[in-house]
Chains A and B, each alone.
Chain A
Amino acid sequence: MNGDIACAEGAVAAGCRFFAGYPITPATEIAEHLSERMPEFGGIYIQMEDEIASMAAIIGASYAGLKAMTATSGPGFSLMQENIGLAVMTETPCVVVDIMRGGPSTGQPTLPSQQDVMQAKWGSHGDYGIIALSPSSVQEMFDLTVEAFNMSEMYRVPTMLMGDEVVGHMWEKVVIPSPAEMKIVNRKKPRAAPDKYGPFMPEDDLVPPMACFGEGYRFHATGLTHDEHGYPKTQSSEVQTKLVRRLCDKIGRNADQIVKVEELMLNDAEVVVVAYGIVARSALSAVRKARQDGMKAGLLRLITLWPFPESHVAKIADRAKAIIVPEMNCGQMVREVERVAKGTPVSFLSKLGEDPHTPSEILEVIKRCA
């Protein structure tokens, strides 16, 4: 199956029962596939009038108790940002899939890029923590969609799945585990009685249990700065500090449990390639060839883009003498790598347009750095 369809199947397997979207190349296949599959499970598929409405609808569906998802690409992702902020502020579990295409603006609808990765973290106004995952194969489009749902439910945060047009449209074999083999996480339900419950009262992990509409809790949630009961407190610096810091810490402090990377041939690596998404596939090829040619090369594949895998990058920065970051943009994740790598030289390999980096392009740079 292709990446988009794998993503759709991953959603269904994870328990997603609500999809609201808007057609946009190259994510349209996700919507089309789900329009067929959702009814089979009694799930809801609706094509909304625009991406803004899609994002609002999935927040509504999530608050009504369903696992909800939307899928889009760059232009739609930009439209969704305000409501992504609402999802963050109201701590709504939901999944937003961005199949990145050439930008900015309408750009190149049918060609890949990795130009939205910074937007995944900083796209909405205000300070907040977010989780973003980057699949590099069709199998991962399935697996990471399930993971995205689990993360969003566990941390009550909208989770971004940052695919790209190549991963979305390529065809590979996917192994779909049986339901018994899959790990599915559902949101924490409140244990307190309705009169003692506050929709934003965090537990030790900084995540509040979530009641849904219609369960008798009669709570209020708002995008305004609010206290633990959800009541707006727009004049209090204390409430703002407490809330915003918790929204950041909720992800930041739990980063160790959230972050996932793939470490290949890093033990004695002198030159490390840090890559994600489709580019990681070429990078792996390049690193293997480099090893064959006698160079001590390794690959750190970022699966989680946000929160940024600080400790993993810091570790290699300590040991390696050079880091190479190939990206299909003008320099986004490389800035994070540079920030963490401090003294270690970081080479950035930028590529825009139709093809991801070829393994030989990356190999060239490995040779130069070795």
Chain B
Amino acid sequence: MPERIKHEPLDSKELVKPKAEIHLITDQCKGCGYCIKFCPQKVLEESQEINARGVRPPKIVDETKCIVCSFCTVVCPDFAIFVLEKPREEVVRNE
């Protein structure tokens, strides 16, 4: 097997991966599915519960995969999901 050279980004020591705090206002969700479909990290999926509006709101699969791109926050037509960034800690390498 050829030896693979792994390139390490020059700023990897300073690079901090944001930690996300995902908030779901489940009863405000109308089940359009945009946040689930368009999350680049596939952090969300449709839950099995039914909310007060009779639809299935999203549920978080793995909050640690969220990179706080906030696309879900801006694309939600019902203001039912938003992501906040937890206070940043020291360097966290790719895990």
Direct contact of A and B (CB under 8 A): no
